[in-house]
């Protein structure tokens, strides 16, 4: 119980710290502008306009969450170490892995609050056109949130080894590769000549998170049915991947000499 209270306190401070960052406000305003701009597409039929609105808004929310997850997660721990503000907290009787978990949860909470605000704008615009609330949007948003949480875990993990700039670049690379993994890497494995390069690419392929599986935008836009068992499988996959990354980050930080 005491440990939970400590984790909650760390995450709350981290969340409040993140809210004050300028990048958060800029990205949020830009994304709201992108979502709001879809209301200007009045020269399309209403059905087409709603499809474009859903497509563009989901992509914008994912990008906003992705950018925030990368920027906030890679700077969260190194800034505390370099400014020595982490030392008084770590000197107390608390596990270092709990501190990492608290910082991670604070970052994720910030991203979730921003994405929830964007979702309200998005759902509000759709409701303004259709006079009903589309529940599929909520499902789509849940998976985008899971993807953003995973990305924040990747950023936290990299931030323990390198500088924030390098960690940010690596996390962005994982984000981009995770999106095009099935299309790009699978073809590369098939084209590989040597057995060693094939095995190496396969290891890389399975180690990278498959972020495209969290994308249910097509189902949302075109109203396609997705098997619930598949959605459950993707949710378990996302949670497991995040848990492993946060667990490894905790272990790495616990063994680090600071």
Partner 1 sequence: MKARAWLPGFFCWLLSCAGSAAAHEHHHPHHHWESVQLRGELWVQIWGLAAVLVGLAVWRMLERKRLQGES
On whether the CB atoms of residues 66 and 149 are closer than 8 A, the answer is no
Which of 19, 6, 125 is CA-nearest to residue 72? 19
- Per CB under 8 A, does 52 bind partner 1? no
Question: What letter would DSSP give residue 39?
Answer: G
Q: Which is nearer to partner 1, 12 or 247 (CB)?
A: 247
Residue numbers 114-173 binding partner 1 by CB under 8 A: 172
Which of 176, 175, 151 is CA-nearest to residue 238? 151
- Cβ neighbours, 10 Å, residue 160: 18
- The C-alpha atoms of residue 175 and residue 177 are separated, in whole angstroms, by 6
Q: How far is the CB of 247 from partner 1 (least distance, A)?
A: 5
- Per CB under 8 A, does 251 bind partner 1? yes
> Among the candidate windows 36-44, 75-83, 103-111, 233-241, which touches partner 1 by CB under 8 A?
233-241
> Among the candidate windows 11-19, 114-122, 148-156, 240-248, which touches partner 1 by CB under 8 A?
240-248
Instruction: Please work out the total of residues on this chain that contact partner 1, with binding judged by CB under 8 A.
Output: 40
Token readout for 73 is 């997660």
- Per CB under 8 A, does 243 bind partner 1? yes
DSSP H helices, 131-222, are: 135-159, 164-191, 195-207, 217-222
Per-position x/- string for 5-24, each x denoting binding to partner 1 as judged by CB under 8 A, each - no binding: -----------------xx-
Q: How far is the CB of 113 from partner 1 (least distance, A)?
A: 19
On whether the CB atoms of residues 55 and 217 are closer than 8 A, the answer is yes
- Per CB under 8 A, does 184 bind partner 1? yes
On whether the CB atoms of residues 38 and 125 are closer than 8 A, the answer is yes
Which of 138, 200, 212, 223 is the binder for partner 1 (CB under 8 A)? 212
On whether the CB atoms of residues 134 and 123 are closer than 8 A, the answer is yes
Tokens 């709603």 sit on residue: 50
Which of 50, 118, 215, 253 is the binder for partner 1 (CB under 8 A)? 215
Q: How far is the CB of 158 from partner 1 (least distance, A)?
A: 17
- Per CB under 8 A, does 68 bind partner 1? no
Which of 133, 163, 240, 256 is the binder for partner 1 (CB under 8 A)? 240
Q: Which is nearer to partner 1, 46 or 199 (CB)?
A: 199
Cα-flanking dihedrals φ and ψ of residue 88, to 5°? -60, -35
- Cβ neighbours, 10 Å, residue 237: 16
Give the 3-state secondary structure of residue 45: coil
Residues of this chain that interact with partner 1 (CB under 8 A) are 22-23, 25-27, 30, 59, 63, 67, 172, 176, 179-180, 182-184, 187, 206, 210, 212-213, 215-216, 218-219, 224, 226-227, 230, 233-234, 236-237, 240-241, 243-244, 247-248, 251
């Amino acid at each position: 119980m005491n440990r939970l209270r400590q984790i909650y306190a760390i995450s709350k401070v981290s969340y409040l710290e993140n809210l004050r960052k300028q990048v958060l406000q800029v990205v949020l305003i830009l994304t709201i502008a992108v979502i709001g701009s879809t209301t200007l597409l009045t020269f399309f039929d209403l059905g087409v306009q709603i499809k474009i609105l859903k497509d563009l808004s989901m992509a914008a929310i994912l990008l906003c969450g992705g950018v925030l997850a990368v920027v906030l997660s890679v700077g969260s721990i190194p800034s505390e170490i370099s400014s020595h503000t982490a030392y008084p907290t770590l000197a107390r009787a608390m596990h270092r892995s709990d501190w990492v978990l608290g910082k991670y949860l604070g970052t994720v909470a910030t991203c979730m609050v921003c994405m929830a605000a964007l979702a309200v704008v998005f759902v509000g615009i759709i409701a303004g056109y259709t006079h009903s609330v589309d529940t599929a949007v909520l499902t789509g948003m849940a998976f985008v949130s899971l993807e953003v949480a995973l990305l924040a875990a990747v950023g936290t993990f990299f931030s323990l080894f390198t500088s924030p700039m390098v960690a940010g670049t690596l996390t962005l690379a994982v984000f981009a590769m995770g999106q095009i993994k099935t299309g790009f890497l699978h073809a590369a494995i098939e084209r590989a000549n040597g057995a060693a390069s094939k095995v190496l690419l396969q290891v890389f392929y399975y180690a990278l998170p498959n972020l495209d599986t969290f994308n249910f935008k097509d189902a949302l836009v075109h109203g396609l049915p997705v098997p619930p068992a598949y959605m459950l499988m993707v949710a378990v996959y996302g949670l497991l991947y995040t848990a492993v990354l946060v667990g490894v980050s905790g272990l790495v930080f616990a063994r680090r000499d600071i």
